[in-house]
Structure 1
Amino acid sequence: MKRLVRKAIATDLPVVLKLIESGRKIMRESGNPNQWGKNHPSTAQLQKDIEDGHSYLLMDRDKAIATFAFIPGPDVTYAKIYDGAWKDTAKPYYVIHRVASLPDYHGVMKDILDYCFSITDNIRIDTHRDNKPMQHCLVKYGFHYCGIIHLLDGDERLAYQKLL
């Protein structure tokens, strides 16, 4: 059965929080102890994603197996890029943030990206230098490494973009 993506609603917040915690654990186990601390992303941020209509769940039958935020740009943290350049700066783009899943489900990122590219042909995404699994997924899917961006708190992230 094909997996489906749906928007998260207010009553899904506990599920989103559970998926974020699972993603945090997966990152720690894969050698990425620094990307998300205990309070990032915050409950308030996840709640805002839901309220703004930017929070999504990847469903496998009736079970939520992943969550992500899919947000139309521009993203303020992408305004300046260092040691590189975006593939395109003229076309509107979307951003994917806060991807997390349950363990032992394969092809999750491909399903998320397939869905997102059914909405737009220009996606930007960033990840922590230690998040090797995410970097692998992005390159495998055809994203191009573009350079380094800085989050609002100053943390560095590796930035990627793909245009169809």
Structure 2
Amino acid sequence: MDSAEIKLRKAEIEDRNIIWEIIQQSIERRRKDGSTQWQNGYPNMNTVESDIAKGFGYVLTVDDEVAVFAALILNDEPAYSTIEGEWLSNGEFVVVHRVAVDEKFAGRGLVKKLFDLIEEFTKSKGIQSIKVDTNYDNIAMLKILESKGYSYCGEVVLAGGVRKAFEKIII
């Protein structure tokens, strides 16, 4: 992995099948873990196509092979305007949604690398912070957010479920 070239780039419509496959693997993994997250028909292929069309879809590539998908949305998450708790800031922010890792790249620290690259992306755009939410039972993501220095801010309601919300000030 050390010699591999790892890059974050905008997803293109040609990536949609591989992205959808990666998301389906994640949906199945969440189900096997006994999670309720992503078990109600969301996200789906329309979600993927919409993310790409709106310019929200990003992929982390390892030697040009798509390994991780994430949606990065600037300043726009209506659910975040109502939080049971308090955000660290009121400035511009990047929202991270729909993180999914290809099984063959799992366990290699790529989601941590993804968050490093999202921080660089956020800084390069002069944006103040990153906000993210996850299911209370998504232990892997909760551990990553903790290791990356995200602060727990409270709870938000998204897609009919209560999620733990986190924020990290970048600049």
Aligned position for 2:125: none
* Residue 111 (structure 1) shift: 1.4
The 5 Å alignment of 1:27-106 reads 27-29=30-32, 31-37=33-39, 39-82=41-84, 84-89=85-90, 91-103=91-103, 104-106=106-108
| CA RMSD across the alignment | 1.4
Contact 2:101 2:111 in 1 (8 A): no
Deviation at 1:78, TM superposition (A): 0.1
Residue pair 2:20, 2:44 contacting (<8 A) in 1 also: no
Instruction: Report the residue type matching 1:125 in the other structure.
Output: V
- Percent identity reads 29
Any residues of structure 2 matched to 1:95-134 within 5 Å, and which? 95-103=95-103, 104-120=106-122, 121-134=128-141
Distance 1:32 1:137, change over 3 A: farther
Displacement of 1:102 after TM fit?
1.6
**Letter aligned with residue 100 of structure 2:** A
Per the normalisation by structure 1, the TM-score is: 0.91
> Which structure 2 segments of 5+ residues have no match?
123-127
Determine which structure has greater relative contact order: mean sequence separation of CA pairs < 8 Å that are 6+ residues apart, divided by chain length: 1
Q: Name 2:11's counterpart in structure 1.
A: 8
Q: CA deviation at 1:62?
A: 2.7
Deviant stretches of 4+, over 2 Å: 25-29
Measured in 1, the distance between the counterparts of 2:147 and 2:132 equals 14
* Residues 1:105 and 1:2: Cα distance change in structure 2 (over 3 Å): farther
The CA deviation at 1:23 is 1.5
Aligned in 2, Cα 1:13/1:69: closer, same or farther, shift over 3 Å? same
* Alignment CA distance shift 1:115-1:132 (3 Å): same
Task: Name the SS for the 1:11 alignment partner.
Answer: helix
Matches within 5 A, 1:139-154: 139-151=146-158, 153-154=159-160
Unaligned runs of 5+ residues in structure 1 are none
Letter of the aligned partner of 2:19 in structure 1? V
CA distance in structure 1 between the aligned counterparts of 2:79 and 2:47, rounded to whole angstroms = 16
| 1:32 Cα offset (Å) | 4.2
